[in-house]
Amino acid sequence: MTDEETEKFLNPDYEKHLHDPFLILGMEKAVERILLAIKNNERVVVFGDYDADGVSASAIFYHFFKKIGFENFHFHIPDRNLEGYGLTLESIDEFAGQNAKLIITVDCGITDVKEVDKANAAGIDVIITDHHLPLSSSASKQEKLPNAFAIINSKQENDNYPFKFLSGAGVAFKVVQALARKGSAQGGQGFKIVPGWEKWLLDLVGIATIADMVPLVDENRVLAYYGLQVLKKTRRVGLISFFRRLDMNPQNVNEDDISFMIAPRINISSRMDHANASFDLLTTESQEEADWITGNMEVFNSERKKIVEKILGEVEGRVGKEPPSVIVQGDLSWNPGVIGLVAGKLKDIYGRSVFIWSKGEGNKIKGSCRGDGSFNLVELMKLAPEDVLVEAGGHAMAGGFSVNEEKIADLEKEILAAYEKVEKKEIQEALLIDKELDIDEINWDLWDKIEKLAPFGAENPKPVFVFSNLEIANVRKFGNGGLHLQLDFKKSSANGGGSIVPAIGFFASDENLNLLAGQKIDLVATMEKSFFRATPELRLRIVDIRIK
Contact residues for 186 (Cβ-Cβ < 8 A; gap 6+): none
For the stretch 474-510, pLDDT in tens is 999 887 777 789 999 999 866 556 689 999 998 776 6
Give the dihedral sign, CA 63/65/70/73. Answer: negative
CATH architecture assigned to 12-194: Alpha-Beta Complex (3.90)
Q: Contact, 376 vs 396, CB < 8 A? A: yes
In degrees to the nearest 10, what's the CA dihedral of 66, 70, 73, 75? -20
What is the spatial order of strands in the sheet that 389-394 belongs to?
326-331, 353-359, 365-370, 398-403, 389-394
At what angle are helices 287-319 and 263-272 packed, to 10 degrees? 80
Q: How many CA atoms lie within 13 A of 93 on its CB side?
A: 3
What CA–CA distance (Å, rounded) separates 82 from 361?
6
Residue 2 CB burial class (10 angstroms; 0-12, 13-18, ≥19): exposed
Residue 159 Cα to chain centre, angstroms: 24
For the stretch 195-253, pLDDT in tens is 899 999 999 999 999 999 899 999 999 999 999 999 999 999 999 999 999 999 999 99
Residue whose C-alpha is closest to residue 153's, from 182, 131, 186, 120: 131
The predicted pLDDT at position 136 comes to 42
Q: Report strand pairing: 100-106 vs 43-47.
A: parallel
In angstroms, the Cα distances linking 42 to 35, 98, 149 are: 10, 11, 16
CA angle 336, 337, 338 (to 5 degrees): 95
- Each as own residue / partner, the long-range contacts of residues 137-140 (CB below 8 Å, 24 or more positions apart, any chain) are 137/376, 137/378, 137/379, 137/396, 138/376, 138/379, 138/423
Per-residue DSSP letter, 430:
P
The predicted pLDDT at position 139 comes to 37
Q: Report strand pairing: 520-530 vs 398-403.
A: unpaired
What CA–CA distance (Å, rounded) separates 39 from 69?
11
For the stretch 123-166, pLDDT in tens is 999 999 999 876 443 333 446 899 999 999 999 888 999 999 99
- Each as own residue / partner, the long-range contacts of residues 96-99 (CB below 8 Å, 24 or more positions apart, any chain) are 96/122, 96/123, 96/124, 98/43, 98/45, 98/74, 99/43
In angstroms, the Cα distances linking 21 to 170, 226, 512 are: 11, 17, 54
What CA–CA distance (Å, rounded) separates 414 from 417?
5
What is the spatial order of strands in the sheet that 73-76 belongs to?
73-76, 43-47, 100-106, 125-129, 150-152
Q: Contact, 512 vs 503, CB < 8 A? A: no
- Each as own residue / partner, the long-range contacts of residues 117-121 (CB below 8 Å, 24 or more positions apart, any chain) are 117/146, 117/147, 118/89, 118/92, 119/87, 119/92, 119/95, 120/147
Give the dihedral sign, CA 325/330/334/339. Answer: positive
215 cis-preceded (ω within 30 degrees of 0): no
What CA–CA distance (Å, rounded) separates 317 from 526?
34
Q: Which residues of the chain have pLDDT under 70?
A: 134-143, 186-189, 360-363, 427-430, 493-498, 509-512, 533-534
What CA–CA distance (Å, rounded) separates 97 from 414?
41
The predicted pLDDT at position 185 comes to 73
For 471, the 3-state DSSP assignment is strand
* Buried residues in 23-41 as b, exposed as e (16+ CB within 10 A): ebbbbeebbebbbebbeee
Domain boundaries along the sequence of the chain: 12-194, 320-421, 435-547
For 182, the 3-state DSSP assignment is helix
Residue whose C-alpha is closest to residue 54's, from 21, 87, 29: 87
What CA–CA distance (Å, rounded) separates 196 from 40?
26
Contact residues for 487 (Cβ-Cβ < 8 A; gap 6+): 472, 474, 475, 476, 502, 503, 505, 515, 523, 542
Residue 323 CB burial class (10 angstroms; 0-12, 13-18, ≥19): middle
pTM: 0.89
For 89, the 3-state DSSP assignment is helix
CB atoms near residue 217 (< 10 Å): 16
The predicted pLDDT at position 83 comes to 84
CATH 3.10.310.30 holds for 320-421? yes
CATH architecture assigned to 435-547: Beta Barrel (2.40)
Q: First and final CA of the chain: distance in angstroms?
A: 38
Q: Phi-psi category of 24—alpha, beta or left, where left has phi over 0 and alpha has psi -120 to 50?
A: beta
The predicted pLDDT at position 360 comes to 67
